[in-house]
Structure 1
């Protein structure tokens, strides 16, 4: 019972604060820019994760040639297939999800 009142109170306070913030046009624009910047950062974090996966799966075919990538390419040339196998598993799972 107390949780319901607590959540209702928090919701009412949040609605009041949102009303005050969104009342002024400058504050609205600032909030909009903040939300856009935050979503851009989140999207970029996902791209970095995909880039790391791509680097592991195709180590000799990427444009970025930093030291870690060169070491990964060297391990693959010596016979290590861990990164390539992991990449293939993830891509196969993604294909299964998209074909359903």
Structure 2
């Protein structure tokens, strides 16, 4: 148990040293800030986009389009699953 605590401490110490060395120079600090801002904007754009896709799926579920081949195939496979289960029990 003591070894696990010492390994955890070494890992935390090495991450801290790497972080300090990363932000010690101005050029590295600017790169880090730029990378963090890019990650932040991508994450926010992903979360903003997702609810509209969920609403679109809910609208599609309520009113299926007969000309949507992929959706029709999924419905066909789903209807066969119940029939195959019933035949297997019989």
TM-score (norm 2): 0.59
Residue by residue over 1:23-80, the C-alpha shift from the partner in whole angstroms, topping out at 9 and shown as x without a partner, is 1011001001111111211222222221211212446xxxxxxxxxxxx686179xxx
**Which residues of structure 2 form unaligned runs of 5+?**
67-90
TM-score (norm 1): 0.54
Equivalences, count: 65
Which residue of the other structure, out of 64, 75, 78, is the alignment partner of 1:75?
64
Structure ranking higher on relative contact order (CA contacts 8 Å, 6+ apart) = 1
Structure 1 moving runs of 4+ over 6 Å: none
2:52 matched to which residue of 1? 51
CA distance in 2, matches of 1:2, 1:28: 34
**Which residues of structure 1 form unaligned runs of 5+?**
60-71, 78-100
- Compare CA radii of gyration and give the structure with the larger one: 2
